[in-house]
Amino acid sequence: MARRWMAAGGLIVALALLGGLVDARASGDDIQDVVVLDNESVQVVLLTFPPGSVAEQHVNPEPELGIILEGELTLITPNGREVLKPGAVRWLPPRTPHESRNEGATPVRMWALLLKRCN
């Protein structure tokens, strides 16, 4: 289910620069998702990004809230590029183009909450 919003636009093999060498390490298909709640109002997913993994640029029809638990996630939006560390929380309005990357050497774990409706 999370592939719908993580893989829109297709996922490709991530290329990471390590010591000046290009190393194909992990694709978006390697991102693990565990849906812990999915109802009419919200979807809550625990995501694990292996080192080198990339969720290519995509958009979600719903607003999204991300909470970083472990590792450092690089988030790229129209507002720029930022590295999110454990404890960081980011809000993405509906239809915000974004790409998520693990450019580090350790896995990234995060909660993603997709708000389908608020009433």
Give the range of the structural domain holding residue 68, as residue numbers without chain letter.
2-115
Residue range 41-69, pLDDT digits in tens? 999 999 999 999 999 999 999 999 999 99
Query: What does the alpha-carbon distance between residue 102 and residue 48 come to, in Å, rounded to a whole number?
Result: 10
Confidence of residue 104 (pLDDT cuts 50, 70, 90): very high
What is the per-residue pLDDT for 18?
26
Copy the structure tokens of residue 79: 């507002």
Mean pLDDT of the chain: 82
What is the per-residue pLDDT for 91?
97
Q: What radius of gyration, in Å, describes the C-alpha atoms of the chain?
A: 14
What is the per-residue pLDDT for 119?
64
Measured CA distances, 41 to 86, 91, 118 (Å)? 26, 17, 7
- Whichever domain contains 8, its CATH number is 2.60.120.10
Residue 91: CB atoms within 10 A of its CB come to: 11
Residue range 75-94, pLDDT digits in tens? 999 999 999 999 999 999 99
- Looking at the 3D structure of the chain, how many domains does it have? 1
What is the per-residue pLDDT for 29?
79
Q: The pTM is what?
A: 0.76
Is the pLDDT at 11 greater than 90? The verdict is no
What is the per-residue pLDDT for 12?
22
Taking residues 15-40, what's their average pLDDT?
A: 64
